[in-house]
Chain A
Amino acid sequence: MTAPASESNAAQSSPLVEFRSATKWYGDVIGINDVTLTLGPGITGLLGPNGAGKTTLIKLLTGQLKPSLGEVLIRGKSARTAAARRHFGYCPEGDNFYEEMSGRQFVRTMARLHGLPPRAARERTEDTLAEVGMSDRASRGLSGYSKGMRQRIKLAQALVHRPEVLVVDEPLNGIDPVGRKELMELFRRLADRGQAVLVSSHILEEMDQMADRVVFMGRGRVLAVGTLPELRAMLAEQPLRIRVACRQQRELAARLVLWDLVLGIELSGDEEIHLQVSRPREFYERFARLVVEQSFDVGRLETTDATTEATFKYVMAAATRF
């Protein structure tokens, strides 16, 4: 095997994106602190409040910043190198373009800046514009585009060189519901093709529908990484809100109120009971036994806060204890 070939194989076997104890300081202020993280194919949601370090993480990943300590690697190469940049496409949050161009010219220019020869750049531009649903409107000047159209063109420029990693900063801001759905479907298609899509967002509801896993950030640290069920299991000790519909509402409530697992109880209407419970897994086991033994007629049992939003709140609450 030749040296370049073995080098290329080594690069292919390296993780797509790897943060190794990456730390970034801005003078006395810490941007991110000792972040170790690996990203693979699929959609990863990057969540966190303002100042959590999301933007710093993205700028380190896209090579705009260099880590004060540690390293950020894309396919085994430092994110600041041109070799690493071939592997990712970046859709920045800022809404800035070469405004004198049309959408098509802009995407083609970016294709050429990524080193595609003129003909290949033209073909890829058309393919990518079709993929983001902008083929028919791409000849218009960028300055006349709506927010949604600009977002799609930004995505097109990030995808035009077929990167393995797509980094998207707040992609759904200002997009109408139909556009959001289409973009989320596009991210899903890319992820299904084996691409890694890192989506930074504060719209947690959309992460619920879109992300295969989420990275929670707070105070410059990665607080939690995993799928939502994994995170839920990890946070099993956290109180959980549960809604129960039962014909024998008062009798059931009278039993439950005696349990030390039940932290709060509230009756609603004729049938509903809202519970706040600790150690949910244990609660479910005892609850199932009780229902069977006492023949309670339970019509519905559901958690009301197993969403990303709730998990996010828990994680952030946990973060304040660090």
Chain B
Amino acid sequence: MNESRSTFFACLALFWLTLRRQLRSRQTLICLALAVVVGLIVYAATWRPSVRPARLANNVFIPTFVAFLMPIFAVCYGASGFGSEREDRTLVYLLISSLPRPLAYLVKGLACQLLVAAWTVGTLWAYCRIAGAPGTELLPVFLRASLLGSLAYASLFLLVGAVFRHGTIISLVYWFFLEVLLGNLPGIVKRVSIAYYVRCVIYGFGEDLKIKAINEDMWVGISGPAATTALVALMAGLTLAGVVAFSRREYADVG
């Protein structure tokens, strides 16, 4: 059979296999449970009809959805993309398949990114609906930032899962220390976190709705387009790093 046709079928098979296994995993239950909790918080916060979009964004959407739920989706499906295969010791079957390793990484990554994007967009849409009119106003502002942010997170955690044996734990530790702690420090040190750029996109494109940092003097933000570019570049860089790492790495412990 033609080699490129055979590679195409193998890619397709890996894509569906990854989607199916990830969707049927316990990560889906975790995502579902946390999404319901955040949904209840959004519902409680928008109980009073007079809530303004900027207030809703700063007090509810950014701390619960952007800073918490979105990275968790990425950890669940990103880090476990290769992490679960390594833990289950089934990665060997992927490594001995006829797929070139760079392509295997990209296809698996694509499937994981798709799940992360679907959860992010789906839950954001649901929360905006729950929040009513102010939520509907926030949707376009948060959509771009959340999508880019979640994909950047997923690229990072996919790489972590491919490189480290306990990718999920390392990803959670990274998220807590770098994103939650360092990402909220005053000054420019927070620029090492993905969350910073996500919030810059929100503040940059949410000016019309008066969405801005609570303590603007301490924030030291960059423009929305610059933050968007930074996130896209980060995503591309992390994906490239993942391809290189996965292609060169020796997995001696996988079966």
Contact = CB atoms under 8 A, between A and B. Distances in A.
Interface of A: 59, 62-66, 81-83, 85-86, 88-90, 92-94, 96-100, 109-110, 112-118, 120, 157, 161
A72 to B, nearest CB: 13
A24 to B, nearest CB: 10
Contacts of A99: 88
Interface residues of B, number: 32
Contact of A64 (B92, B98, B100): B92
Given A97-B90, A117-B9, A59 B98 contact: no
Interface of B: 1, 3, 5-10, 12-14, 17, 21, 24, 88-90, 92-101, 250-252, 254-255
Of B3, B13, B21, B89, chain A has the most CB atoms within 10 Å of the CB of: B13
A33 to B, nearest CB: 17
B96 A62 contact: yes
A82 B99 contact: yes
Given A96-B88, A109-B13, A115 B254 contact: no
Nearest to B4: A115
B255 A94 contact: yes
Given A94-B92, A98-B90, A113 B98 contact: yes
A177 B113 CA distance: 48
B96 A115 contact: no
B62 to A, nearest CB: 37
A32 to B, nearest CB: 13
A113 B90 contact: no
A157 B90 CA distance: 13
Q: Which 10 A-B pairs have the closest CB atoms?
A: A115-B6, A112-B13, A113-B97, A94-B255, A96-B89, A115-B10, A82-B100, A92-B255, A114-B98, A90-B96
Given A64-B252, A65-B250, A65-B252, A116 B92 contact: no
Given A62-B96, A110-B93, A114-B97, A100 B252 contact: no
Contact of A115 (B7, B90, B93, B250): B7
Contact of B9 (A92, A96, A97, A115): A115
Nearest to B21: A98
Contacts of B251: 64
Say what secondary structure dominates the interface of chain B: helix
A89 B96 CA distance: 8
Given A94-B92, A99-B88, 14 more contacts: A64-B92, A81-B100, A85-B97, A90-B96, A92-B255, A96-B88, A98-B21, A100-B24, A113-B93, A113-B98, A115-B5, A117-B5, A117-B9, A161-B98
Contact of B252 (A59, A110, A113, A116): A59
Say what secondary structure dominates the interface of chain A: loop
A88 to B, nearest CB: 8
A36 to B, nearest CB: 22
Contacts of A96: 88-90, 92, 255
16 contacts: A63-B96, A64-B250, A64-B252, A65-B250, A81-B100, A82-B100, A90-B92, A96-B88, A96-B90, A96-B255, A112-B12, A113-B17, A114-B6, A115-B8, A116-B6, A157-B93
A110 B10 CA distance: 9
A92 B13 contact: no
Given A100-B24, A115-B10, A109 B17 contact: yes
B15 to A, nearest CB: 11
Nearest to A111: B13
A62 B12 CA distance: 23
A80 to B, nearest CB: 8
Nearest to A94: B255
Contacts of A114: 6, 10, 97-98
Given A64-B254, A98-B21, A109-B17, A92 B92 contact: yes
B250 to A, nearest CB: 5
Of A81, A88, A92, A96, chain B has the most CB atoms within 10 Å of the CB of: A96
Contacts of B94: 113
B95 A64 contact: yes
Given A64-B251, A85-B97, A113 B89 contact: no
A113 B250 contact: no
Contacts of B254: 64
Contacts of B89: 94, 96
Contacts of A83: 3
B110 to A, nearest CB: 16
